[in-house]
Structure 1
Amino acid sequence: MSDTQTTGDLTYTYRPSLLGAPWQFRLTGDALFWDIGRRSGRAAFHDIRRVRMSYRPVTMQNYRFVTEAWLGDGTRLTVASTSWKSMVEQERLSKPYVDFIRELHRRIAASGASVSFETGMHPLRYWPGFVVFAGMALGLAVLTVRALQLAAWGGAAFIGAFLALFLWHGGNYLRRNRPKTYRPDALPDDLLPR
């Protein structure tokens, strides 16, 4: 991440995969420029139609946030809060990511564009996922109670521990990714890394 004081440009770079080229985004006075491997382009802030912030943990990084911006021509740009550093390590870019995303929102709002600001997953994916999560949690709770009734203490402890872990991770994921809208001057704190 670099900030060029003389031009007012703000740049954010991350590597979405270990073998791929780094993705670079640059905010200028009136546009967002991107360089994504072989693709590059420019979009005026008033051409951005939709922005979605979400929480998307991955195998190697369970604290990862993503902001996606859709342009008028259908192009989707993705900015993530982590970058591949080595074969087994992803680096958190929390502060540069937050600074870039806040400034992107500020410039979009200043352009006067009609933009939809959304959080989480699409409702058609979220609510079925929530129902499956609730069903599995209920099933694990019933199994734990049944194991306790049969005096299978080890099995009850194992299932209970798995249930607690499932509720913690799954509940956190669903809580952060609940579909809703927000204002560009009030970004959702639970979708920004600390």
Structure 2
Amino acid sequence: MPTSLPDQTAAGEGGPETRYAYKASLIGSAHEFELTDAGLSWRVGGRSGVWPYADIASVRLSFRPVSMQARRFRADIENAAGGRIAILSTTWQTVSLMAPQDHGYRTFMIELHRRMHGAGSKAELIGGIGPKTYAAALVLLALLAIAMTGLLVRALATFEFTGALFLVGFAVLFTWQIGGFVKRNRPRGYSFDALPDALLP
């Protein structure tokens, strides 16, 4: 089910839904964002700026798990001048811990879309990964499925039931992880009043 924008106006500047920050690496500084009356204010390292909501050219939402965080979401935002910033739903806390920020990320993204819509934005709203990357992922999945089927048939034919059981378990795990990535990241467009739930925490 797509996520609809709230009907009521959210709290003003400084509310929890208008500020968001995360650390992209353990040693780097935090990436800070705020939704102001003037637009999307951002500070990344030594760079900063304010992008008026009407000047945002595109928003791409995607699901980007990594080895240390299986539930990670990403928003890639581009303005009319070609500038790009990325917002992640996780933050580094320690050497071994990448923590999710599901609620903060979700509320911030919903509020960003609400403000863009209110400003009359004509931004392109994209869900998932690029069509070429998606097609390549499907081809890779098909090739791996063929290879796994061949190995399973050979294991059964030679009565290697332990090996066959291992292959079945591996296939189930692989389908759960990679299949979920492919399913969530199906290329699509969406609208301001129907954000894709699969691409938000």
Using the size of structure 1 for normalisation, the TM-score is 0.93
How far off its partner does 1:8 sit? 5.7
Matching of residues 1-194 of structure 1 within 5 Å:
7=13, 10-193=18-201
| Mapped contact 1:137–1:167 kept (Cα < 8 A) | no
- Aligned pair in 2 of structure 1 residues 6, 191: CA closer, same or farther (>3 Å)? closer
> SS of 2:37's equivalent?
coil
Which residue identity lines up with residue 75 of structure 2 in the other structure?
A: T
Unaligned runs of 5+ in 2: 1-9
| Mapped contact 2:38–2:50 kept (Cα < 8 A) | no
Write out per-residue CA displacement over residues 101-142 of structure 1, whole angstroms, 9 at most, x where no aligned residue: 000011111111211101111101110111111210221122
| Mapped contact 2:13–2:35 kept (Cα < 8 A) | no
| Mapped contact 2:20–2:32 kept (Cα < 8 A) | yes
Which residue identity lines up with residue 58 of structure 1 in the other structure?
A: V
Which residue identity lines up with residue 196 of structure 2 in the other structure?
A: P
Unaligned runs of 5+ in 1: none
Using the size of structure 2 for normalisation, the TM-score is 0.90
Q: Distance in 2 between matches of 1:49 and 1:101?
A: 15
Write out per-residue CA displacement over residues 77-102 of structure 1, whole angstroms, 9 at most, x where no aligned residue: 11111000111001111111110000
> SS of 2:94's equivalent?
coil
Question: How many percent of aligned residue pairs carry the same amino acid?
Answer: 38
Which segment is superposed worse, 154-163 or 80-89? 154-163
What number of residue pairs does the alignment pair up?
Answer: 190
Q: Which runs of 4+ in 1 moved over 2 A?
A: 4-9
